[in-house]
Amino acid sequence: MKTIAILYQSKLPPIKDGVQKPMKLGGYSDSGADIAYELKTNGIQIVTPINNPNINTDLDWVFPDTKKGIQDALDKGANTFWLNTVLYKSHEIVNFFDRDIELIGQLPSQVDIYDDKYFTNEILRKNKIPIPKTTLIAIENLTNYSLNIDFPLVLKPLRGRGSQGVSLVRNQKELDNKLNEIFKNNEYGNMVYLEQYLSGQEITITVMPSGNYLIDNQEVLHKEPWCLPAVKRINHKNGIAPYNGLVAVTENSSVLGIDELSSRKTIDVCRQCEKAGELLNIKAPIRIDCRADENGNYFLFDLNMKPNMTGPSRPHRQNQDSLTLLASRKIGWNYIDLLKNMIRQSWKACF
């Protein structure tokens, strides 16, 4: 029987190749507490740092992703760890792979590789998956770089998180100012990523890993990664979907209508997202943001190895559906159904 502990991010990940991935305030303890409370309410065995967690206190429900935090959870009887945190090759959980534990989430070494947006998009491009034009600018060539992309364009951290640090740049002066600002603050490291701006509709697609699922009370085997229904994003700010820590996704997102979901262009981009999931050998859901050009053809522009998993489990967070949960509702899953199906895909490290 599984006894689950939820991990949250307790510190910044290590700098990789001079690039720092930013940390969400609270380290995903909010969504971790949402998950833990929902599981407990539905009779699934969990362990928590304290015996009687307060429904309003996130940290009462989740363990820090440190050596001590993981050991504390093991001492309380955990045999399954929900990796609701930012992963990397040297993450502490790797030091526990020789234990008899199961994991819900991605393989840390894979995340370490694919969190690099430019590197991942080049893999997708080489495999004939449509990606916008891109280029890199390092602080070393700040005064001596060339662009292969027309304005307007999008500037992003190389190892970003959601839309944090992302901005639309309309001309050379704006680009120079933004580059000077972002490198001066040194919040995202010594390299940034520029991308062709696409003017069409934006959608978000959650790709689920292969495995056995329970859908409409029936066992369904997916031998390959598969997509939940696409979610449309609206009410962009300066061309960019707002960070969901500031604007709840329920206020600016909805599942596509049946006509759009069944359109050839939507079906095609879903197949491309499934191909991406297969290439990356995903073990848990990923979220891929896609945007159409002026002709309505979709491009994959942002692959997130750790989609947000907030949910309306606690009374004070009833507007906290994640993009993945919005999509899940379209196939008849509520929050606990989504979480239970993620648990079904738990895995053990192999040596």
CATH code of the domain in which 91 resides: 3.40.50
What pLDDT was estimated at residue 17? 74
Cβ proximity of 238 and 167 under 8 Å: yes
What does the CA dihedral 74, 76, 79, 82 come to, rounded to 10 degrees?
Answer: -80
Domain assignment of residue 55, yes or no: yes
What does the CA dihedral 186, 93, 24, 343 come to, rounded to 10 degrees?
Answer: 150
Report the predicted TM-score, pTM, of the whole model to 2 decimal places: 0.92
Q: Rounded CA gap, 215 and 150, in Å? A: 45
Determine the residue type at 90. Answer: S
What pLDDT was estimated at residue 139? 82
Q: In this structure, are 209 and 339 located in the same domain?
A: yes
Backbone CA torsion sign across 241, 243, 244, 246: negative
Domain assignment of residue 116, yes or no: no
Q: In this structure, are 208 and 192 located in the same domain?
A: no
Q: In this structure, are 17 and 87 located in the same domain?
A: yes
Residue with the two structure tokens 């073990």: 283
Give the number of other CB atoms < 10 A from CB of residue 83: 23
Cβ proximity of 46 and 102 under 8 Å: no
Domain assignment of residue 153, yes or no: yes
Domain assignment of residue 350, yes or no: no
What pLDDT was estimated at residue 292? 96
**Helix then strand then coil, % of the chain, to nearest 5:** 30, 25, 45
Domain assignment of residue 115, yes or no: no
What pLDDT was estimated at residue 165? 74
Length of the chain: 351
What pLDDT was estimated at residue 245? 55
Q: In this structure, are 248 and 274 located in the same domain?
A: yes
Cβ proximity of 130 and 187 under 8 Å: no
Cβ proximity of 91 and 21 under 8 Å: no
Residue 211: domain span: 202-343
Q: In this structure, are 317 and 295 located in the same domain?
A: yes
- Whole-angstrom Cα Rg for the chain: 20
Q: In this structure, are 188 and 224 located in the same domain?
A: no
Phi, psi of 90 (to 5 degrees): -100, 20
Q: In this structure, are 206 and 338 located in the same domain?
A: yes
Q: How far is CA 38 from CA 33, 86, 201, 317, in A?
A: 8, 21, 33, 12
What pLDDT was estimated at residue 247? 63
Q: In this structure, are 80 and 95 located in the same domain?
A: yes
Q: In this structure, are 224 and 184 located in the same domain?
A: no
Give the number of other CB atoms < 10 A from CB of residue 1: 6
What pLDDT was estimated at residue 304? 93
Q: In this structure, are 63 and 186 located in the same domain?
A: no
Averages of pLDDT over each 10 residues, the chain, 351 residues? 97 83 90 98 98 98 98 98 96 96 97 89 95 88 81 85 79 90 78 90 97 96 98 78 64 92 97 98 97 95 93 95 97 98 93 51
Q: In this structure, are 185 and 235 located in the same domain?
A: no
